Amino acid sequence: DATAVIVVDHTLAFIHKFLSEWLPRMMTEQNNNASDSTTPLVKAMKELLHVHCDMIVEVQNSHPGAFVRYLEPFLNLFHSSLMAMVEKRRTASSNGFVISFLTFLGNVAGTQQYWEDAEPANILWVNFFSPQLMLSLSHILLHLFNNQEGVDGDSDTDSHQWKDDPEAFFNWELQRSCDEDVGSAAQNLFLALVEAEFAVHSAIQGREKVVLPWLIDLLGNVASQRLAVEIEGGMSRNIDAEIIRQAMPLVAAHQTSVTQHGSIEDAFVMQWDAIYTAAGLVGSMLEGHSGFDFGSWFENCLGPNLSLLLQQSGSQQQHHSYLPLLQRRIIWL
């Protein structure tokens, strides 16, 4: 009834105001304090913020139609907060805030009635999820797929686990959940963006996908894939950093990953691992779209690259420290 609507309006308005004011402060607090020096008051406030973020995620997911009236302010808040966390490199694999932001955006992007129905839901959805935002967000999501940070700022935790205890790493990957893992939540949001269709102005043209053509264009960069394989296999060494930077498929989106996640060679290989992961997630949606053919891609690109990596892995002259990321990912594909 009318009274209930007023109560809900006031409650969600209060939650939005609370989150808008305290989420930025909490991010600053996290930057200024190590986890072991966090005060009890800060820990309590952090938990309270988590509860309210999770509440909004749950309410939208449970009542997508009724939530339309509150959609715009929370979309803007969670998206801007996610971008701030990415910029500050607060994207550890277990970061609950990042998981909540990704989950909310994924749920909204994947709610078909938002991008199919008439106004006001469709207008809000289209105005927010513009093609430009979809592509910009997809760039960042690929960097979050295989997050290499165990705690914020501590990189290569997963790689070390792979080296030290491969069986434990394999079991950990099987148990990854979008409720507890940033990489899994990022993959869910990416799939929602891939599946979403953007209305074309002409009624004859109908609807079109935005992210899928971009991914297909990335997969067409055969020279860049070959260079990444040669770097992992130890065939190409001491390459000028500028050459690698120009060959990077995702260099324009997440510059910090190039300079702060190990060497530029590591970042380059990781980018192609993420793109191959995206291709595997999308799967059959790729086949036939814009003329893409999995068989041809395998014969002309993946197959030769895999053969080269397997030859090098058995060579006695292989002296490098790279994990077989692309070898593993191509076999998975």
- pLDDT tens digit sequence for 23-57: 998 877 665 555 555 788 888 999 999 999 999 99
The lowest-confidence range among 175-179, 182-186, 283-287 is 175-179
CA distance 104 to 62: 12
pLDDT of residue 122: 78
Report, as an integer, the average pLDDT of 56-73: 94
CA distance 50 to 331: 39
CA distance 114 to 124: 8
Report, as an integer, the average pLDDT of 297-309: 94
Percent of the chain with pLDDT over 70: 80
Non-local CB neighbours of 175 within 8 Å, separated by 6+ positions: none
If 0-12 CB within 10 Å is exposed, 13-18 middle and 19+ buried, where does residue 173 land? middle
CA distance 29 to 146: 26
- pLDDT tens digit sequence for 85-123: 998 888 887 789 999 999 999 999 998 888 776 667 778
**Residue 180, pLDDT above cutoff 60:** yes
3-state SS of the chain?
CHHHHHHHHHHHHHHHHHHHHHHHHHHHHHHHCCHHHCCHHHHHHHHHHHHHHHHHHHHHHHCCCCCHHHHHHHHHHHHHHHHHHHHCCCCCCCCHHHHHHHHHHHHHHCCHHHHHCCCCHHHHHHHHCCHHHHHHHHHHHHHHHCCCEEECCEECHHHHHHHHCHHHHHHHHHCCCCCCCHHHHHHHHHHHHHHCEEECCCCCCCEEECHHHHHHHHHCCHHHHHHHHHHHCCCCCCCCHHHHHHHCCCCCCCHHHHHHCCCHHHHHHHHHHHHHHHHHHHHHHCCCHHHCCHHHHHHHHHHHHHHHHHHHHCCCCCCCCCCCHHHHHHHHC
Alpha carbon distances (Å) from 279 to 190, 211, 256, 273: 11, 11, 24, 10
Report, as an integer, the average pLDDT of 241-259: 70
Q: Which residue has the tokens 């909004």?
A: 56
pLDDT, the chain, mean: 83
The lowest-confidence range among 91-105, 127-141, 208-222, 255-269 is 255-269
- pTM of this prediction? 0.86
